[in-house]
Structure 1
Amino acid sequence: MTAPIAVSCGEPAGVGLEIIEKAWTALKDDLSFFLIADPAHLHATVPVQEIRSPAQAADVMLNALPLLAHPFAGIRTAGAPDPQNAEGVITAISRAADFALTGAASAVCTLPIHKKALKDGADFPYPGHTEYLAHLGKVDRVVMMLASDQLRVVPTTIHIALKDVPTALTPDLLRDTIRITGAGLRTQFGIANPRLAVAGLNPHAGEGGAMGLEDMDTIAPVLDQMRAEGYDLSGPLPADTMFHARARANYDAAICAYHDQALIPIKTLDFDRGVNVTLGLPFIRTSPDHGTAFDIAGQGIANPTSTIEALRMAWRMAQAS
C-alpha cells in the first residue's frame, strides 16, 4: 500500500492552510495525506483529527483531515506573517522530508512559504524551499520542473537576470539538467525512455550563428555527446515553435534555457493546474505553483486547484516509483 503524502503547512498567514482543507474535501476518497501544522492555526472548515504517526493517516482520511500536531511560537494572523513562526515553518518542512526519507511518507508536498519571514525570524540561509530540501536530501544539484497534464517544462537557469543567462548556461549545467530530468521521468513518472526537447537560447535557435553563437557552441555539442550516450534528445529547437499541440506530442518534457521561456507556455496552457516538482532529490516533492497570496488570505476565496493537482501528481509519482 502506498504510504501517505506528508504536507508541510508553509506560512500560516498565507492561503496554504485554507486550501489544504479544500483539497482534503476534494481528495479524501482518492488518496491519503497528512498535514504537519499547529492545530491552533487551522481554519476548521472541515473535520480534523490529530494522529500520532503517518501510519494512522489512511484510516482517518475518509472522515477527517489527518493532522500531525506541530506547535508554533506565534499565532496566525491572515495576511500578516509573524517572524515568531519562522522556526515552526522550517521544522515542519524538515519533518516532512524525514518522513519521506524513512519511507513513512511516500512523498512531500510543500505549501507556500514566505522567505522574508523565515529570514527575519530564523535567519533562514536558503533562497527557498528547493535549496533547503536539497540540503536535507544531501544532494548538490536539483532540477525544477513545472508539470501539468498538458506539458512538462524545465528551466535550466532559474531566478537570475536575463542578461546573465548566456554566462550561466554552461555545458555542465545543461548536461546535469538533462541527466536529472531524464532520471526523474524514468524513476518517478514511469517513462522508460524519456524524449526531451531542448530549446535554443536565441531566436530561431541562433539561425546558424546569425542570431547568436550559444546554440551552436554551447547547446548543440552537449546534445550530441548525450545522444551518443543513449539520450533521446531533439534540439536545439526554436522555442517559438515548441509548444503548440502537435509539437508537444513529440516529447515528454521540454528543457528550456531560462525561466520565462519555460514558465510562460505552461502558465498560458494550464495556469491553475501547474505543479512544481523538484527532481534530483532522494524523495518525491511537489508543491502548488503559487505563493502565499497574503492579499486574499483568510477570505476563503483562494483557489485550491494547484494544491489538489500537486497532491494528485505526488500520489501518481509515488505509485510509479
Structure 2
Amino acid sequence: MSASNQGTSRQYDIAITMGDPAGIGPEIICRAVAAMSPEDRATTLLVGDPAIYRRAARMLGSDLDFVALDAEETTPGSIAVAVVELPEGVELAEGRISAAAGDMAFRCVEAAVDLVQSGRAGVIVTAPLNKAALHEAGHHYDGHTGMLASLTGAPSSFMLLASEHLSTLHVSTHVSLREAIDRVTPERIIATVEAGHDHLVSLGIAAPRIAVAGLNPHCGEGGIFGDEDMRCIAPAVESLQARAYDVSGPISADTVFYRASRGEFDLVVAQYHDQGHIPVKLIAFDTTVNVSLGLPIQRTSVDHGTAFDIAWQGRADATNLGSAIAYAHRLVRDDHP
C-alpha cells in the first residue's frame, strides 16, 4: 500500500531516509535512534530496508527492533519502518557505487515525500546518498535538493547550511562555477533572500538581518574585476531594501562571513556552492545542517557524504545526523510553516 493511501493523521514527527545503503547511512541512523529518548523514538519513522537496519544494529551491538509500518504486531520500543527493499537476489555492495543502491536511495526519498505529503510524517531527514550511484540508476539529479524539487513539483529550491554561529543560503549550488556566474541575476538573488527571510521568521526571528555576499573580489572594485556586483547584486539589494527587508550588500566575501560569525548578521546569501560551504564547514563541520527551502515540504539533512571508505566498519560518527534531527524537531514541534 502506498503512503498516500494510509490515512492523513500525522503519526510521526520525522521520517528518516536510509540514503545509499552501501554507505554510512544505516549505521548513523541506528546510532542516532539508539541515543533517542523513548518519546522521540516513538515519533520517528525510518524509511528503508528493515533487514539492512537490523544488520547495522547488530554490527553496533545494539538490540534495536525494527517493524514494518502498520504491522499488526509490534513490541514496546520498536522502530517503525516504511519498507523500501533492495530487489530480491541483489547483494549489498558495501562501500561501493552501484545502481541498485542508488535506486534504493531514490525510492526512499520518494516514499518519504509521499509520507509527508499525505500527512503521516512532519519533516524529512535524509541520510547521505551518492550522486554517481544515483546517476547509474538513471536518476539524473544534482542531489537531494533538485530531487525534492522535482518530486514535489516546486519550481526551485534553495540550500541553507545552518549552524549556531554562521548560516549561509546559496543562490546556486551543484553547478559549474561558470554556470554559477550566469545564475547571479537580480531575480534569483531576490528569491533567495525572500526564502531565507521567511524561514528565519518562521523560527521566531522577527526581523532577520541578511547580508548578500559579492561575487567578484572586493565586489568588483567598481567594475575593474567584473561588473556583476553592481549590475546584478546591488539592484537586487536595493529592491529588497525598498520593501523594508533588513538586507545589506553586496559585501565582499572575504569579510562578510567573518562579520556574520561575530553576530552582525543572521544569514549570509552566498553566490555559489563553495563560497558558502567553505566558511560554514570550517566553523562547524560536525554540526552544520543542510535545510531545503522553497519546497512545499520541510527537509533537513546531514552535511556530509556516504563515506564509502569507512562504511560498514562501525566507525561512522552520527553527530551530524543528530544535529539534523534536532533541527527537524525544531521545525515540526513548533508548527512552523
TM-score (norm 1): 0.90
Moved more, 130-139 or 82-91: 82-91
Aligned match for 1:35, one of 46, 58, 74: 46
Q: Which runs of 5+ in 2 are unaligned?
A: 1-9
Contact 1:5 1:106 in 2 (8 A): yes
> 2:292 matched to which residue of 1?
278
Question: What are the equivalent positions in structure 2 for 1:125-274 lying under 5 Å apart?
Answer: 125-187=140-202, 189-244=203-258, 248-274=262-288
Contact 2:165 2:261 in 1 (8 A): no
Partner amino acid, structure 2, of 1:37: G
Aligned match for 2:20, one of 4, 11, 36: 11
Q: Which runs of 5+ in 1 are unaligned?
A: none
Aligned length: 315
Partner amino acid, structure 2, of 1:52: L
> 1:113 matched to which residue of 2?
129
1:167 offset after TM fit, Å?
Answer: 2.4
Residue identity over aligned pairs, in percent, reads 37
Deviations 1:175-219 (A, max 9, x none): 1111222222223x2323222111111222223334332211111
Deviations 1:212-237 (A, max 9, x none): 32211111111111111121101111
Moved more, 205-214 or 303-312: 205-214
Deviations 1:144-191 (A, max 9, x none): 01111121101212223334433221112111111222222223x232
Structure 2: distance between partners of 1:246 and 1:229: 22
Structure 1: distance between partners of 2:29 and 2:21: 12
1:88 offset after TM fit, Å?
Answer: 2.9
Question: What are the equivalent positions in structure 2 for 1:292-311 lying under 5 Å apart?
Answer: 292-311=306-325
- Cα RMSD, aligned residues only: 2.3
Q: Give 3-state SS (helix, strand or coil) of 1:127's partner.
A: coil
**2:119 pairs with 1:103:** yes
Contact 2:98 2:136 in 1 (8 A): no
1:29 offset after TM fit, Å?
Answer: 4.8
Query: Are residues 184 and 52 of structure 1, via their aligned partners in 2, closer, same or farther at CA, if it must alter by over 3 Å?
Result: same
Structure 1: distance between partners of 2:171 and 2:178: 15
Q: Give 3-state SS (helix, strand or coil) of 1:242's partner.
A: helix
Partner amino acid, structure 1, of 2:65: V
TM-score (norm 2): 0.86
Contact 2:259 2:265 in 1 (8 A): no
1:25 offset after TM fit, Å?
Answer: 2.2
Query: Are residues 312 and 141 of structure 1, via their aligned partners in 2, closer, same or farther at CA, if it must alter by over 3 Å?
Result: same
Partner amino acid, structure 2, of 1:109: V
